[in-house]
Amino acid sequence: MRIWATIVVLAAVVTTSPLVRAQAVADSLSEAASKELHEAAPADKLRLIDQWGDQGAASKDRVSALVEALDDTDVQLRAHAARALGSIGPSAVTAVTKLTSKLTDEQADVRAYAAYALGRIGRESMSAVPALVVALEDNNPTVRRMAVQAIVGIKPPANVVVPVLLDVLRNSEPAVVVPALHSLADNGEEALPLLIDAMEDAKARYWVCVVLGSMGPKAQGAVGALAGATHDADQGVRRESLLALGEIGPSAAEAVPYIIKALDDPDSAVRAAAVLTLGKLGPKAQAAVDPLGKRLEGRDQLVRTLGIWALVRIEPKNKLWVRTAGTILRESLTNSDPQVRAAAAHALTDLRLSDAASIEALVAALADATVAVRESAIEALGDMGEPAVAPITKALSKPGTRGAAALVVAKMGPVAKSSINALVAALADTNPATREQVLIALASLGKSAQTAGPSIAKVLEHDPEYHVQQSAAYALWQIGSQAGNVALITTLHSKHSSLAITSAAALAHLDPANSKTVKLILPVLVEGLKHPREAVQLEACAGLAALGRAGASAVPSLNLALTDDDEQVRRAAHDAIERIQRPGDSK
């Protein structure tokens, strides 16, 4: 690897960009954290550090204490401190210098977590990139993988990072390569000339094809190189080059002759990739109509399934192809090969065939043993809307299809309001996962499902599974039913914090003018802002926003949430503050 040349370039970048802020004078909270860690018993120190890490950005006042712990003689303590700093994220910027020095720690765990932390801190760790480049040659594979992920997270300039990552593609194991792929794709057009050159390297060619495919239409300039790779000696390269051309789409039309030749490839996966790619090129692949038509008569059921889909994509107004597609795809949905069934379900989804026979076949596929088949059937039926409502309502009465049918309703939303009675009956299912799916479906129906409020309230009150109760609280919130308000007040005191917070958010929307309710839910919502799960934090923000002026005491906590690592949480906190401080808001 061109390690030293890269370091010289990086040094120039770092000296012209002030990327590490000076550490502020430690305040009383920081001093208290250091004292707490120093005075803790040896057995409690790890627990304390892990607890700080679990709190994420909320532990930013403990950064100094964790930096001190990086020099502890206890290996575990050093490693856990580095991991905790990574969990704190960008708020741990003052730890960058010390973390960088730990990339040469004698223990691999410490080196790996130091790299992890630098990546989580992000762009403010730019000064650490030269040391991370050196770490790419660490003798420990975990350290190498974490170093790549860190470089990806820091996002150095393309002219610096791309040559390094191309070397990774040539010389590293797949576990290290995968994060490098994402970074190369993110660099887009800047990386394209270097990627095209790398196609000449047999060691890197497979992975470069994968990267070019993930770039999609931005990789149009590589069409010639990818077309040539369709004849590569390695079947993996042939397959990935074809798939990359498909992701580039119609602008890869010049490669159609090469793709047609690949229809006769000795490898079945390559042949299937060729058919798939021709379909993605659409009308631009007109020259492939006759060759594809001949494949419909073959014995390869996967090629037949993909072939008829491709023909409809190429000639969407051809009634013969559309009619033939319904027949072949319904037949393929019952094939013994799960790959064929999955392809058929996906094809029906993409082509939006909504005739009664196709709907019936897709409803039957909701009970398929293969997840990919069920997911494609759910997507297809959900997009069909009204024509599929009656068959889906019927499927809710059958245990084998009930959960998947509920997911279809959730995707349809209010258009499926006629399924309310069937959904309420399905709340008695013995499978908690199914009950949860049914509740999410009811929530998606919005106010049109208010008649289900009492039944949902019973689930909230009596269900033995807290995550089902949480979905019930969410459903009551979404349908706007106060039928469960008493039960919601009870679940405010649940030992499961996520259930308590969702219940508080629901009450904030359902009963915001009740001062007694507000007094109960405010501390729960404020505590929810510190929850480790972003989805729960967002619910807490939504609940506080719903309270309007009544949530004024939560503004200091919301101000802290404005520094959260997650952008959605920061935005939600900002919106809540605006709502609370909005002039004329009577809440």
Rounded to whole angstroms, what are the CA distances from 483 to 65, 378, 447? 49, 31, 13
Measure the CA–CA gap between 74 and 152, rounded to whole angstroms.
30
Measure the CA–CA gap between 362 and 344, rounded to whole angstroms.
10
Measure the CA–CA gap between 438 and 396, rounded to whole angstroms.
9
At 531, give phi and psi (nearest 5°): -65, 140
Smallest CA-to-CA distance from 410 within 434, 390, 433, 382 is with 382
Smallest CA-to-CA distance from 539 within 516, 573, 566 is with 573
pLDDT of 298 reads 84
Percent of the chain whose predicted confidence (pLDDT) is above 90: 66
pLDDT tens track for 360-416: 999 999 999 999 899 989 999 998 889 999 999 999 999 999 999 999 999 999 999
pLDDT tens track for 43-75: 788 888 888 888 888 788 888 889 999 999 999
Measure the CA–CA gap between 419 and 409, rounded to whole angstroms.
8
Residue 534: CB atoms within 10 Å: 16
What structural domains and CATH numbers belong to the chain?
1-19+30-173 (1.25.10.10), 187-316 (1.25.10.10), 492-587 (1.25.10.10)
For residues 562 and 573, the answer to whether their CB atoms sit within 8 Å is yes
Range 536-558 burial, b when 16+ CB lie within 10 A, else e: bbbbbbbbbbbbbebbeebeebb
Residues of the chain with pLDDT under 70: 1-35, 158-159, 169-189, 584-587
For residues 432 and 465, the answer to whether their CB atoms sit within 8 Å is yes
Residue 130: CB atoms within 10 Å: 22
DSSP sequence for 135-170: HTT-SSHHHHHHHHHHHHHH---HHHHHHHHHHHHH
pLDDT of 267 reads 94
Rounded to whole angstroms, what are the CA distances from 240 to 2, 49, 166, 516? 28, 45, 17, 62
pLDDT of 228 reads 96
pLDDT tens track for 331-363: 999 999 999 999 999 899 899 888 899 999 999
Rounded to whole angstroms, what are the CA distances from 227 to 211, 245, 257, 431? 15, 8, 9, 50
pLDDT of 180 reads 62
Q: Which residues contact 325 (CB under 8 A, 6 or more apart)?
A: 308, 309, 311, 312, 347, 351, 353
pLDDT of 352 reads 85
pLDDT of 368 reads 93
Q: End-to-end distance of the chain based on CA atoms, in angstroms?
A: 63
pLDDT of 142 reads 86
Task: At 347, list the tokens.
Answer: 């094809």
pLDDT of 28 reads 47
Measure the CA–CA gap between 542 and 394, rounded to whole angstroms.
35
Q: Which residues contact 544 (CB under 8 A, 6 or more apart)?
A: 508, 525, 526, 551, 554, 558, 576, 580
pLDDT of 25 reads 35
pLDDT tens track for 458-475: 999 999 999 999 999 999
pLDDT tens track for 251-266: 999 999 999 999 999 9
Amino acid at 151: I
Q: Is the pTM of this model over 0.85?
A: no
The alpha carbon of 159 is separated from its chain's Cα centroid by a whole number of angstroms, namely 28
DSSP sequence for 54-93: HTGGGGGGGHHHHHHHTT-S-HHHHHHHHHHHHHHGGGGG
Residue 208: CB atoms within 10 Å: 31
